[in-house]
Amino acid sequence: MRGSATAPDRGRRRAAQAVAAAALILPLLGAAPSETSADGLQQAFATASAEYHVPQSVLLGVSYLQSRWDAHGGAPSVAGGYGPMHLTDARTALAKAPHHSEGTEDARGDSARKPLLPKTEVPARTELPARLTTLTKAAELTGLAAEKLRTDPAANVAGGAALLAAAQKDLGEPLSDDPADWYGAVARFPAADDKATAAAYANDVYDVLRTGERRTTDTGQQITLPARPGLAPETGQLARAGLRKASAAETECPTTVSCEWIPAPYKQFGEGDYGNHDLGDRPASQSIDYIVIHDTEGAWEGVLNLVQDPTYVSWNYSLRSTDGHIAQHLKAKDVGWHAGNWYINSKSIGLEHEGFLANPDAWYTEAMYRTSARLVKYLAAKYGIPLDRQHILGHDTVPGPTTSTIPGMHTDPGPYWDWQHYFTLLGRPFGTTARAGAGMVTILPDYANHRPAFTGCSAQGKPCPAHGSSAVRLYSQPDENSALIKDIGLRPSGDASTTDVNDIGSRVSTGQQYAVAGRQGDWTAIWYLGQKAWFKNPKKQPTAVNASGAVVTPRAGLAQIPVYGRAYPEAEAYPADVPAQAVSPLPYKLLAGQKYVVGDKVPGEYYYAVAFATDAHKVIVGKDLYYEIQFGHRVAYVRAADVREEPSR
pLDDT tens track for 157-183 = 999 999 999 999 999 999 999 999 999
**pLDDT on residue 525:** 98
Pick the CATH number of 247-415 from 3.30.450.20, 3.30.420.40, 3.60.150.10, 3.40.80.10: 3.40.80.10
CB atoms near residue 244 (< 10 Å): 11
Alpha-carbon distance of 185 to 353, in angstroms, equals 26
For 408-455, strand residue ranges (E) read 440-443
CA distance readout (Å), 245 to 192, 248, 249, 581: 11, 9, 12, 47
Give the torsion through C-alpha atoms of 358, 360, 361, 363, to 10 deg: 90
Residue 623, CA distances (Å) to 555, 570, 581, 640 in order: 19, 7, 15, 11
pLDDT at 245: 86
Q: Is the Cβ–Cβ distance between 547 and 448 less than 8 Å?
A: no
Distance from the Cα of residue 448 to its chain's centroid: 17
Task: Answer yes or no: pTM beyond 0.85.
Answer: yes
Of 26-40, 72-86, 504-518, give the lowest mean pLDDT range. Answer: 26-40
> Is the pLDDT score of 358 beyond 50?
no
Cβ count near 559 (within 10 Å): 9
For residue 13, give the nearest of 234, 222, 216, 315 by alpha carbon.
234
Where is average pLDDT lowest: 56-70, 360-374, 592-606? 360-374
Q: Which residue has the higher pLDDT, 122 or 619?
A: 619
- Per the rule left: phi > 0, alpha: psi between -120 and 50, beta: everything else, 531 is beta
What letter does residue 583 receive in the DSSP assignment? -
* pLDDT score recorded for residue 28: 33
Asked if pLDDT for residue 34 goes beyond 50, the answer is: no
Task: Please state, rounded to an integer, the average pLDDT across all residues of the chain.
Answer: 90
- The answer, yes or no, to whether residue 357 has pLDDT greater than 60, is no
pLDDT (mean) for 216-237: 95
Amino acid found at 54: V
What size, in residues, is the chain?
Answer: 649
According to the model, what pLDDT value does residue 297 have?
A: 65
- The domain limits of the chain are 7-89+133-240, 247-415, 431-547, 553-647
Q: Pick from 328, 337, 353: which is nearest to 253 by CA?
A: 328
pLDDT of residue 124: 57
Neighbouring-strand partners of residue 275:
267
**Pairwise CA distance, residues 129 & 200, whole Å:** 19
Selection from 174, 164, 191 nearest residue 29 by Cα:
164
Burial 128-140 (b: 16+ CB within 10 A, else e): bbbbbbbbbbbbe
Supply the pLDDT for residue 97. 57
Give the β-pairing of 267-268 and 471-473: unpaired
CA dist 203 → 208, 232, 293, 393 (Å): 9, 10, 25, 29
Among candidate residues 243, 59, 287, the one with its CA nearest the CA of residue 165: 59
Q: What are phi and psi of 192, to 5 degrees?
A: -65, 150
Determine the Cα–Cα distance for residues 644 and 646; give it in Å rounded to an integer.
6
Q: Give pLDDT, residue 592.
A: 98
Q: Which residues lie across from 394 on neighbouring strands? A: 293
Q: Are 310 and 275 in contact (CB under 8 A)?
A: yes
Q: Are 184 and 173 in contact (CB under 8 A)?
A: yes
Domains 7-89+133-240 and 247-415 share a fold: no
* Cβ neighbours of residue 352 closer than 8 Å, sequence gap 6 or more: 99, 294, 295, 296, 303, 315, 317, 318, 319, 338
pLDDT in tens, 373-426: 999 999 999 999 999 999 999 999 999 999 999 999 999 998 989 999 999 999
Tell me the range of 62-66, 294-298, 319-323 where mean pLDDT is highest: 62-66
Q: Say yes or no: domain 7-89+133-240 is CATH 3.40.50.
A: no
Mean pLDDT of 65-86: 90
Residue 536: pLDDT over 90: yes
Residue 19, pLDDT > 60, answer: no
Indicate the SS3 state at residue 276.
coil
Task: Please report the pLDDT score of residue 459 as a whole number.
Answer: 83
Q: What letter would DSSP give residue 600?
A: E
pLDDT for 151 beyond 50: yes
Q: Is the pLDDT of residue 31 over 50?
A: no
Separation between Cα atoms, residue 308 and residue 338, nearest integer Å: 14
**pLDDT band, very low/low/confident/very high, at 356 (cuts 50, 70, 90):** very low
Planar angle of CA 300, 304, 309, nearest 5 degrees: 150
Cα–Cα distance for residue pair 411/210, rounded to 1 Å? 38
User: Residue 224's pLDDT is what?
Assistant: 97
Please report the pLDDT score of residue 123 as a whole number: 54
CA 316 to chain centre: 14
Beta carbons within 10 angstroms of residue 10's beta carbon = 14
Q: Taking Cα atoms as reference points, which of 554, 562, 551, 628 lies closest to residue 592?
A: 554
